Structure 1
Amino acid sequence: MLTYQLIEGAARRQWLDDLLLADEEVGMIERYLMHGQFYTVSDQQQVIGVFHLMALNNQQVELKNIAVRPEWQHRGFGGQMMTQIQTIAIDQGFQSLLVGTGDGSLAAIGCYLRQGFRFEQIRKNFFDQYQTPIYENGIRLKDMVVLAKIL
């Protein structure tokens, strides 16, 4: 059974390597790290992943980052984390959950669609903000694809 721990303040910085699994630039993570809610996820007291939620308004919350450590991937933990994330959002009164991913992140887009998310918007040229170009599946990321799920 997975356990979830809310991490406050500067203690979040110790999990930067985990956050970098899903967002490759420290400067971009720094923009949201001290805002919102940051959780570690453990299996039998061993941290296997992290996620970060940030309210956009009273009705919408965005999943800014979700990462499962490589040695724990492909075991269903990401899906379990998504279920818990939705429970947290519902318990806090949010009506929809948004998540953004790169336009070349085909596996992530497919995963979110299977979880019941639908396309919401495109944030054009989002990845131009990154100092180093990011490639996934041989595609240079340019736009952020935002998906949303009604809770």
Structure 2
Amino acid sequence: MHLKTVPFEQRNDYIDWLLLADDSKNAVLSYLEDGDLYAVHTQGMIVGVVLLILLSKSTVELKNIAVAADFRGKGIGKAVIEEVVQMNAEKGFTSMVVGTANSSIENLVFYQKAGFRMMSIKKDFFADYEPPVYENGIRAFDMVMFERKL
């Protein structure tokens, strides 16, 4: 697995990838031009994306991480996180944050296994999503924020 920077002028080509992890095209478009976007390559093909946004001098946000369904459960997502953690630690960042919906049970487990700890909840973050987002029979209302020290 390796990461390849997506040139700014090619970001629109990756919207469908970003939508694998974000149910709102408007939300994706709101951050598409921010931060650093990387394509995740393995076996000679793109299998996912990761987008990181600078929040402060010390903190970077893992804004979007997506792996194609056929490649999930094979350790790629974990490897991507370890790569971006190392890359950002080398740049001098001391923490990484990520948020996911209260209804995203698999993501809640995934981020904790990847070394993130719950830090806050953004109440009603998804309340205005149209159509409403449901996962695991639960409506997404709140964003659960996690942090990992680098």
What TM-score does the superposition give when structure 1 sets the normalisation length? 0.96
CA distance in 2, matches of 1:129, 1:92: 36
Percent of aligned pairs with the same amino acid: 36
CA distance in 2, matches of 1:22, 1:92: 26
CA displacement at 1:88 relative to structure 2: 1.7
3-state DSSP of counterpart to 1:126: coil
Task: Specify the alignment match of 1:94 in structure 2.
Answer: 93
CA displacement at 1:97 relative to structure 2: 0.4
CA distance in 1, matches of 2:121, 2:80: 25
1:40-72 deviation digits (Å, cap 9, x = unpaired): 010132001100000101011000000000111
| 8 Å contact from structure 1 (residues 19, 66) kept in 2 | yes
What TM-score does the superposition give when structure 2 sets the normalisation length? 0.96
CA distance in 1, matches of 2:27, 2:90: 28
| 8 Å contact from structure 1 (residues 28, 130) kept in 2 | no
Pair 1:15-2:40 in alignment: no
3-state DSSP of counterpart to 1:28: helix
CA distance in 2, matches of 1:75, 1:99: 21
Task: Specify the alignment match of 1:146 in structure 2.
Answer: 145
1:101-142 deviation digits (Å, cap 9, x = unpaired): 000111111111111111111011100242221111100000
3-state DSSP of counterpart to 1:58: coil
CA displacement at 1:25 relative to structure 2: 1.0
Task: Specify the alignment match of 1:54 in structure 2.
Answer: 53
| 8 Å contact from structure 1 (residues 12, 33) kept in 2 | yes
Following superposition, which runs of at least 4 residues in structure 1 exceed 6 angstroms of deviation? none
CA displacement at 1:84 relative to structure 2: 0.6
Pair 1:31-2:30 in alignment: yes
CA distance in 2, matches of 1:129, 1:45: 39
Task: Specify the alignment match of 1:109 in structure 2.
Answer: 108
Instruction: Report the AA paired with residue 24 of structure 2.
Output: E
Q: Which ranges of structure 2 fall in alignment gaps of 5 or more residues?
A: none
CA displacement at 1:8 relative to structure 2: 2.5
Instruction: Report the AA paired with residue 144 of structure 1.
Output: M
Question: Number of residues paired by the alignment?
Answer: 150
CA distance in 1, matches of 2:117, 2:2: 28
| 8 Å contact from structure 1 (residues 64, 100) kept in 2 | yes
1:79-100 deviation digits (Å, cap 9, x = unpaired): 1111111012112211000000
CA RMSD in angstroms, aligned pairs only: 1.0
